[in-house]
Amino acid sequence: MSNFADMKELIFATNNKHKLQEVSEMLNNTVVIKSLAEIGLNGDIPETADTLEGNALQKAQWVYERTGKDCFADDTGLEVDALDGRPGVYSARYAGEHCSFDDNINKMLAEMKDKTNRKARFRTVICLIENGTPRYFEGRVDGQILTERYGKEGFGYDPIFMPDRFAVSFAEMPLEVKNHISHRGHAVAKLVEYLKKTTN
């Protein structure tokens, strides 16, 4: 077991406290995670690519260029079949710039009101940059869009997304259960597997 002081340190390119908490718990005892706030890096991280992979790379490169330190970023999209894959890469700002999670959910519920096909999936792509070289890890979970909100946990679209083989929304699950089955959970698990191989 490596000493905490000797553990690899990675910067996570996010200002989202919910996301930081989820990922930090999943990476426990593998690496030390530093948030942008912890290293005093401020500014708006660009997210102008038209794919999840492109956005994850863009965010990670932005941090790497300013710190020269190994880092990773993620981008997540909710893809809804009845909406031709929307909102996808625009999931965080589906209801417009500076919108809230509630705004996004309200728009989604309105657009899905009369839809019978409610199949959807979350996809997360993580881009890890080590010594300037990017590496990608993807996770996915399939499910469906509910007709109303259920649960108080999680964030984003969690109250209206029910994963396959479950009878509750992401927002009704304990964090440790969601982390085990979620899109981000699958992507982080692949990242952890890679880091364990390269840091041992």
* Per-domain boundaries in the chain: 4-199
> pLDDT by residue (tens digit) across 93-151?
999 988 999 999 999 999 999 999 999 999 999 999 999 999 999 999 999 999 999 99
Give the pLDDT confidence score for residue 4 in this predicted structure: 47
22 φ/ψ angles, rounded to the nearest 5 degrees: -60, -50
> pLDDT by residue (tens digit) across 45-84?
888 999 999 999 999 999 999 999 999 999 999 999 999 9
Which CATH architecture group holds 4-199? Alpha-Beta Complex (3.90)
| pTM of full prediction above 0.75 | yes
| Active-site residue identified among 6, 75, 103, 114 | 75
CA 23/CA 191 separation, integer angstroms = 11
For 63, residues 6+ apart whose C-beta sits below 8 A from its C-beta are: 11, 13, 36, 41, 45, 69, 71, 73, 129
The answer to whether the beta carbons of residues 13 and 73 sit under 8 Å apart is: yes
Mean pLDDT of the chain: 90
Residue pointed to by tokens 């593998």: 30
| 80: nearest Cα among 49, 51, 116, 127 | 116
Residue 200 has pLDDT above 90, yes or no: no
Residue pointed to by tokens 């080590």: 130
75 catalytic, yes or no?
A: yes
